[in-house]
A and B are shown apart, each in its own frame.
Chain A
């Protein structure tokens, strides 16, 4: 089954240059808007599609520079016998080493024999589809693929063209399911003629006045039309390509199915025909589909099939789709400097776990990787405070996302941050400082440009809150804790963390008598607030409340060192 082993693009639309080795199965392209995902699909379609000409305009050239030709090279492996033929294509056969990804100029034992098809468009906008090999170019040999071979390779475009595929048009998948063809040429022509006769002169009555003017003018000018008539134009009702279409039992054409249904059906048929068309293109795979149908579509495209029945190129903006995919089906497209880069997300533990917990992160530009729910809640609460009370732009609006590292240790968080950074994201890690991270890991992060937010040495978030905020804020925090988990539990945590030395009542009395919380009390409350099982605020929503309602509005009076950390958080999440 034919597979694209290598795709090279130059000067096509937003892509100056790109060199990518796709996987043999599902290739889900993600990346920030305008990163060139759809252009990649379009390039494959232009190069491999069955067409004799293409509509290329100056605007399809990178930077409108038409003097640099558009070149799209697709190197195909998994070739059927006809394409491996020494006689037809011997001078063009090349080798592809799957282990190194290198293409060699001639086939070699132990590596795969491949063919490179190249679409080139110069300033004259005339496309040429030719096979490429180094030796053929040296010898000045020019040859394209035979038409029937191109037809066999043509990718199936599942999407806006569903209506093409739901009728027996030239490029329809229906023609690939079996060898049957409708042969109704004469029948259709007769039907068209009957329509013309049947319609007769009905329009004539309604257009009598216009016809009169035409007749008069023609006569006056000596143009011999006689009495002008308004009749059905036989050409306008020409019934040709695609006239025979699929209809449901009730006679409704299947192309009127909902977008989702049509796409699902198409994908299923495509897979049925995969013996012939083995490459499918799907732009915006989630378009028009509820999550459960999206999952069905992905299944029918072979997302979970180890035999890789189809090579699929798709784009998506849907976390639902991502959650269904594996890291080796996910490719991140980015423009870096002059060239586009496509990176495989990969199946590291970090990627797989983020795909399950926070798939939307992969669709973001900037990612705040938090050690746990507390940090996420706090950051989201502060963001919300800025948006609602100060009319600031939200981190989400800047293309930001949060990842919950699910953290028992800070290292886990740092490792995820590093993996995401290496995939090209703008990443900040947000960890507690009560446990030491591995120093080597910290150094690597710094070297690779991952930002780091953490508290002063030895402190956790709760320590900082109870030590650094004003007494009034501590009142609110205590009050919110009591409201959330109940007075008994709060009292119990204080008692146990003080080894029976202090009680909630005593602390309340101290605050009432002295007007402040003593330093030792603040330190005790910090420890009590983060008891391991029933932490006072340990959930995204609780900390979001803390950030939004308590810390945000009263941050200005807090201890400067603490304020500084949160200011850095704000600055990073709001640097567009």
Chain B
């Protein structure tokens, strides 16, 4: 499903590449964890998979399609199948939770009535239906993270990329978020999760990839 071949990413002005000759594959329906300390290149890797950045060298494919050669105009359509949960949530804070979630569907061209219905269902799934009409700025970090996950899953993606989804949360909330992601995985969504917490990888039996200084070590 996802394959990286000898991917290197260099940023101008930095002596060491953020990613150095990274090669690995994630099969369809897998729950893959990318582990590593801060600065290891986890976020860079996810951004490459999200086509938010282009590698300096190497090839990345998604469902056999070359992401590096993908025309810019096709990237938005790709992002309706590959969604990302960001560490800083990326919510529009003055909008309600429902509006934030329905927005992803509106953009995908779903009719308003249908998008509100599906967004309500997604809110129910993440346990925030009672906060349907509450602006996101009023929510706690854990709740905002759940809204971000709801927005990512509401479009029924093939792949979900999660960047430290539990990084800012206390262990009990982190457990809830992980359970939520595992439920999505059980439904067949391929998940790539970046974390610095080794206990997260222990909560599932998918492949774990360790990144250290931009270099990869794969553990099946």
Do the two shown chains form a genuine complex with each other? no
